[in-house]
Structure 1
Amino acid sequence: MQVFVTGASGFVGTHVATVLMEKGYRVRALVRQPDRAPHLRTLGVEVVQGDLVHSDLVPLMQGCQALFHVAAHYSLWRRERDRLYQVNVVGTQRVLAAAQQAGVERTVYTSSVAAIGVDPSGKPATERYQSPPDKLISEYKRSKYWAEQAAHKAVATGQDIVIVNPSTPIGAWDAKPTPTGDMILRFLRRQMPFYVETGLNLIHVRDVAIGHVLALEKGRTGDRYILGHQNLTLGEILNRLAALTGLPPPRGAIPVWLPLAIAWIDEVVLGALGTPPRIPVDGVRMAQQTMFYDATKAVQELGLPQTPIDQALAEAVAWYRDRGYCH
């Protein structure tokens, strides 16, 4: 089967393309800057140049039976609201419309647990829970919510789309890095004396990629599947990193008002000068929530693997160290 993948040069997309190639699919990948994705050609992926918002996507998708729409823009900087909407919402609408015109038979759309929100009861959220969009913290989360609504709308018009909602992937090839990868790097560089206590659901990034392919093969049209594994507090994650690396853990948690004040100066004052904030205000606000999720549905219906989180953390650490990120 010939499949089309957007976002294949990114963290999750690289692993999706890798797993697809291993399973015998023929992969055509949409990449904005092909010269920055030599690893895809090494895998045997057919790389085509283009982007979600400006390119004519229909001819690029022609001949493909399936689509994995993984690409998205991630930013917690409030000034990027328009770009988040254009790439994540309008881009998703354009990709899905192009897939329909090109005769693509089935699509797996990569949403996020960010679009689901946090269950105020304190229980790990399932696919059945949905936070009202105005309760979602950050323009990024709201853009992923509206992008997912575009996918549901396309399903209602007859498109065969399965939605996956990854939690927090961990592992190799987090080159940009993601906020969680950045947290691992700051730990390795000894730049994290304190932390704000929060909670995350972690999953090995390869399990996320396998979950995408399982969604194509087994997922129910219009359903969404949380691709997650283990709920851990940030303190527990940092202690695991300390045990894996031999480095000392941070000295302890600090009250949220302190980083919130620093973030406000960082984003409002320095951001006005055009400098992207190192600590976005919405990032600190999000940390006040315990972002726990329940992936039982994906495990039971798709067979989502549950690789030990310590293995994912160890692979992320090794990848950063091998490539000189830690200096």
Structure 2
Amino acid sequence: MVKEVFVTGGTGFIGAHVVRSLLRANYRVRALVRPQSCFDNLAGLDIKPVTGDVNSPDLAQLMQGCQAVCHVAAHYSLWQRDRDRLHRVNVLGTRHILEAAQTAGVERVIYTSSVAAIGVKPGGQVADETYQSPPHRLISAYKQSKYWAEQEAYRAIERGQDIVIVNPSTPIGPRDIKPTPTGEIIQRFLQRRMPAYVNTGLNFIDVRDVAQGHVLALERGKTGERYILGHQNLSLKAFLDKLAHHSGLKAPRYTIPLWLPLAIAWVDEILLSKLGKSPSVPLDGVRMSAEPMYYDASKAVRELGLPQSNLDEAIAAAIDWMEKKGTETT
């Protein structure tokens, strides 16, 4: 019986909610925390923090006595300059976590991948776990790193490790401390810094459902399977309309033709960065918006019992948390 779970990435958005879901399910939690990490998302929780990172040489020793690992930690960046760090943290870090878990005698690993590793079906079609974009067609070094990290998991599964893969879509809700790209959209909307939008779409889910999906994968998931943790496919316009409804602010009315942000991002990241200026618009981020990123989470709902909470409640909670956080920092 699993009693203690070793969690990586617990100070982050998804990880902090995974820790809370595990505690509610009466698991003990040992959280791997980098020395420089902000501990706000875990403050006051009855957990055992241990210092290190995904490439620490003493990972197996830090995991001793745990029956399961939730490997949530990852580096997220759409900047092309971060390719090496993405590989080092996401790919090599996953390899080291899995090797350490095997050495420490951990019984089961839940690996947090992403729908980014699955890719996007052409023409806005809905993708499920059976779909896979060729790695060279995955836009951004980040997406490619998550694909190759999944391959590390599959190789470990072939060697006999008990690993379940979960692929969150776009989580929203409270405690988006960094924030994530979606959290940044909400933040910019609340700050009235979004006069227009790109015509794209995403699959959204309450981050608390994503966290519960990790616990369900631990308890019910099948070894070697991957499960999309998602809920509702929405155009970006529909999502902005929901933000407007819950915030009382006006949603942007105009779309931006894709060539305009592409041109801005190319000049910003490719040209100006060579002159020593810090870019503000990642080119790969704009390229990703060319097609809607829609997914089908029915497998996780059917096999795991993944909750499908009302998205409006998650949006309202995200807005409330960001407004309170903004008040606290001013």
Q: Please tell me the TM-score bracket, short chain as reference.
A: over 0.9
State how far apart, in whole Å, the 2-side matches of 1:85 and 1:107 are. 20
Aligned to 1:12: 14
For the 8 Å contact 1:118–1:292, the answer to whether it is kept is yes
1:196 and 2:202 correspond:
no
For the 8 Å contact 1:68–1:110, the answer to whether it is kept is yes
Deviation at 1:119, TM superposition (A): 1.4
The answer for unaligned runs of 5 or more in structure 2 is none
- For residues 287-324 of structure 1, give each alpha carbon's deviation from its aligned partner in whole angstroms, at most 9, with x where no partner exists: 00110000000000000000111111111100000011
Deviation at 1:39, TM superposition (A): 4.3
For the 8 Å contact 2:122–2:291, the answer to whether it is kept is no
Aligned CA distance change for structure 1 residues 88 and 306 (closer, same or farther; 3 Å): same
C-alpha RMSD over aligned residues: 1.4
Give the TM-score normalised by structure 1. 0.97
Aligned to 1:258: 260
Aligned CA distance change for structure 1 residues 64 and 229 (closer, same or farther; 3 Å): same
State how far apart, in whole Å, the 1-side matches of 2:93 and 2:316 are. 35
State how far apart, in whole Å, the 2-side matches of 1:212 and 1:40 are. 17
Aligned to 1:155: 157
Aligned to 1:78: 80
Aligned to 2:245: 243
Residue among 29, 35, 40 paired with 2:42: 40
Aligned CA distance change for structure 1 residues 41 and 249 (closer, same or farther; 3 Å): closer
Residue among 136, 139, 158 paired with 1:137: 139
State how far apart, in whole Å, the 2-side matches of 1:277 and 1:143 are. 22
Deviation at 1:262, TM superposition (A): 1.1
Give the TM-score normalised by structure 2. 0.96
Aligned to 1:115: 117
State how far apart, in whole Å, the 2-side matches of 1:204 and 1:96 are. 28
Q: Structure 1: which amino acid aligns with 2:321?
A: W
Describe the SS at the equivalent of 1:134. helix
The total of aligned residue pairs comes to 327
Q: Structure 2: which amino acid aligns with 1:140?
A: Y
For the 8 Å contact 1:242–1:248, the answer to whether it is kept is yes
Describe the SS at the equivalent of 2:121. coil
Aligned CA distance change for structure 1 residues 192 and 155 (closer, same or farther; 3 Å): same
Aligned CA distance change for structure 1 residues 187 and 99 (closer, same or farther; 3 Å): same
- For residues 62-86 of structure 1, give each alpha carbon's deviation from its aligned partner in whole angstroms, at most 9, with x where no partner exists: 0000000000000000000000000
Aligned CA distance change for structure 1 residues 252 and 117 (closer, same or farther; 3 Å): same
Aligned CA distance change for structure 1 residues 42 and 273 (closer, same or farther; 3 Å): farther
- For residues 43-63 of structure 1, give each alpha carbon's deviation from its aligned partner in whole angstroms, at most 9, with x where no partner exists: 111100101123420100000
Aligned CA distance change for structure 1 residues 262 and 34 (closer, same or farther; 3 Å): closer
Aligned to 1:102: 104
For the 8 Å contact 1:34–1:48, the answer to whether it is kept is no
- For residues 147-167 of structure 1, give each alpha carbon's deviation from its aligned partner in whole angstroms, at most 9, with x where no partner exists: 001000000000000000000
State how far apart, in whole Å, the 2-side matches of 1:14 and 1:152 are. 26
Describe the SS at the equivalent of 1:324. helix
State how far apart, in whole Å, the 1-side matches of 2:46 and 2:134 are. 42
State how far apart, in whole Å, the 1-side matches of 2:193 and 2:111 are. 36
Deviation at 1:252, TM superposition (A): 1.3
1:166 and 2:161 correspond:
no
State how far apart, in whole Å, the 2-side matches of 1:256 and 1:41 are. 42
Aligned CA distance change for structure 1 residues 72 and 274 (closer, same or farther; 3 Å): farther
State how far apart, in whole Å, the 2-side matches of 1:23 and 1:286 are. 37
Aligned to 1:177: 179
State how far apart, in whole Å, the 1-side matches of 2:227 and 2:41 are. 29
Aligned CA distance change for structure 1 residues 304 and 48 (closer, same or farther; 3 Å): same
For the 8 Å contact 1:174–1:181, the answer to whether it is kept is yes
For the 8 Å contact 2:12–2:41, the answer to whether it is kept is no
Describe the SS at the equivalent of 2:122. coil
Aligned CA distance change for structure 1 residues 11 and 276 (closer, same or farther; 3 Å): farther
State how far apart, in whole Å, the 2-side matches of 1:276 and 1:301 are. 46
